[in-house]
Chain A
Amino acid sequence: MNYRHIKKFALLAAIILSAVVSHFSGGWNQYHLLIIITIGINIVLAVSLNLINGYTGQFSLGHAGFMAIGAYVSAYLSTEYGANFLRLFGGHAGALAIALLFLGVLILGGIAAAVAGLIVGVPSLRLKGDYLAIVTLGFGEIIRVIIQNTDAVGGARGYSGIANYTTLFWTFALAAVTIYVVVSLIDSTYGRGFLTVRDDEIAAEAVGINTTRYKVVAFVLGAFFAGIAGGLYAHINNSINPQGFDFQVSILIVTMVILGGMGSTPGVVLAAVVLTLLPEFLRWFAKSDLLDWLVRHAYQFLSPEHFAVAAAKTKELFESRMILFSILLIALMLLRPQGLFGALPRRKASR
């Protein structure tokens, strides 16, 4: 055993762990399982977007678009052709045949998203900062509108009847692969090229780095994994619809990347976990006795009629989770502008 193999070893360990945990997850509360799988999907999304936005410094707001492509392509393939594929294995299509089918459609969904990444990436190379953000945001919306008008996948009504292939194993094994790919890539002379593009394009080119190539690779690879995440998402929900991939999803993933500290993979993973759990926590909190208790004590000095109004308003605030969610985010940004794991030092003004 050589220290060099530590990354591969960790990947293998993570995959085995996912399989073991998944094996015992049968009896778990379905709602909790869904949240855990959502965490895994969000890790794939955030870590892959981090390659584009964090490491390469390209502000993309199109991740939901890539995710949508992966979701629809994989769902369409597994739903329309899955049965035919499984028939190849004779009457008794076992777990292995299903695994093969699922992995296959996930990868095809990822490839379709990667092609879209190439198509968006190339013209975006001339754009920087806000302009790139606007173009990629527009791209995501265009994808959504195209899907809405494609009858083959149900249009605005959505596409349903998707098999429930996504398991805890697939989600976390693929999250581990995503992390492995990004981390190994960055930890190489080749991969450090992404960071030079972020830091100073002109200097990067002056030392012979093909910045154009790096940006395209970042977009293609990031889009591929977003597509995979889309496939996982599609196969945990019986149906998907275009609204599920609107720009708010992109913004949520961007938030994870920023909160995690642009270019810090552990930070981004942590942010994906926190931001997935936070709304669930707030949902629970709004209904909990704890909130009742807090309200009773906080407003005890108020007259009964004032108390009733204040208590109702407070509960309302907590029930509209998104407002609180936003407030918490703003607070975090103010307190830790460099993100939870902040890898980026503050830039010194140039002399």
Chain B
Amino acid sequence: MPLLDLQHCTVRFGGLTAVSALDLQIGAHDLIGLIGPNGAGKTTVFNIITGVYRPTSGSIAFDGRPIGGAKPNVIAGRGIARTFQNIRLFATLNVFDNVRAAFNLRCKHGLAHALWRTPAFYREEENIERQVMELLDIFDLGRHRATLCSSLSYGDQRRLEIVRALATKPKLLLLDEPAAGMNPTEKEALTRLIRQIKDRFDIAVLLVEHDMKVVMSICERICVLDHGTKIAEGNPNAIRRDPKVIEAYLGEAPANV
């Protein structure tokens, strides 16, 4: 049984069909690429998986249970984490607190404990702090713990967003164009990072990426969207040679393919 199972998902915005009858299955250990020209509907797919939008029709199941209609925070709690195409960090919080925010989900203490400040409250806070620092250190962000996230370099911000997503302890990680705006060196580092995440955390990854080199080099399977419709799915070699894919990308990225 796949971890994530999209059945005939369609999303319409008024007259525009952003995603059309999409079937997509992701196994618990898959690293899958979702590619397609601008406006193909990739981000919209992320938005229906994470509950930002409801599909107009079709069904989505995660971990064997349907997620139809659940709110984004509930879906995050069930084990789907994401990053955003335009980085969305908590601008007024420092690096540490950005990651700490993701522990809110599992935080057992609430208002009363925060006010009484019981020993159990402090124990939990220490426990969270340790886990946040562990994660930050893995991704080499530990020394920035007190830095305001908006003063990080662009590449670090992208990385921090990934760390924050991982801090929710997901089973499935959705990355929306993580290489956008990066230079070739940063892109290479990112490629290594995604592999590292896959190995270390043993989770499923769905990667939306415009940069073919990144996608082709790390994804085991690639799904190609064009105008909301899946036009091809297969391993990188098959996708590279698929005439439909070449046509969809005609004039856009043949040099990259």
Contact = CB atoms under 8 A, between A and B. Distances in A.
Interface of A: 4-5, 7-8, 180-181, 184-185, 187-193, 195-196, 198-200, 202-211, 217, 263, 343-345, 347-348, 350-351
A153 B2 CA distance: 65
B171 to A, nearest CB: 13
Interface string B139-160: 0000000001010001000000
Contacts of B110: 190
23 contacts: A4-B117, A181-B115, A185-B111, A185-B115, A188-B125, A189-B100, A189-B125, A192-B93, A192-B97, A192-B100, A195-B92, A202-B88, A203-B90, A204-B90, A205-B71, A205-B72, A206-B76, A207-B102, A207-B104, A209-B73, A343-B92, A345-B148, A348-B91
A203 B89 contact: yes
Contacts of A181: 115
A6 to B, nearest CB: 10
Interface residues of B, number: 46
A202 B101 contact: no
A263 B97 CA distance: 16
A196 B122 contact: no
Interface of B: 50, 52, 71-73, 76-77, 81-82, 84, 86-93, 97, 100-105, 107, 109-111, 113-115, 117, 121-122, 124-125, 128, 148, 150, 154, 164-165, 167-168, 181
Contact of B114 (A191, A199, A204, A207): A191
A350 B89 CA distance: 10
Nearest to B148: A345
Given A189-B100, A203-B84, A345-B148, A208 B105 contact: yes
B117 A351 contact: no
Given A185-B111, A188-B109, A211-B73, A204 B91 contact: no
Contact of B91 (A4, A8, A345): A345
Given A8-B117, A190-B113, A350-B87, 20 more contacts: A4-B122, A184-B115, A187-B114, A188-B109, A189-B124, A189-B125, A190-B107, A190-B109, A192-B104, A199-B93, A200-B91, A202-B88, A204-B101, A206-B73, A206-B165, A207-B81, A207-B104, A207-B164, A208-B102, A344-B92
Given A190-B109, A195-B92, A207-B104, A184 B114 contact: yes
Contacts of A7: 117
Contacts of A188: 109, 113-114, 121, 125
Contacts of A189: 100, 103-104, 107, 109, 124-125, 128
A351 B90 CA distance: 15
B90 A206 contact: no
Given A188-B121, A351-B154, A207 B101 contact: yes
Contacts of A187: 114
A36 B184 CA distance: 63
Given A206-B76, A208-B76, A351-B181, A185 B154 contact: no
A203 B88 contact: yes
B235 to A, nearest CB: 30
Contacts of B113: 188, 190
A200 B104 contact: no
- Which of A187, A191, A199, A217 has the most chain B CB atoms inside 10 A of its CB? A199
Contact of B104 (A180, A208, A343, A347): A208
A347 B81 contact: no
Contacts of A5: 117
Nearest to A350: B86
A231 B107 CA distance: 35
Contacts of B111: 185, 190, 217
Given A184-B115, A188-B114, A200 B90 contact: yes
Contact of A207 (B87, B150, B167): B167
Contacts of B124: 189
A211 B110 CA distance: 14
B91 A347 contact: yes
Contacts of B50: 206
Contacts of A190: 104, 107, 109-111, 113-114
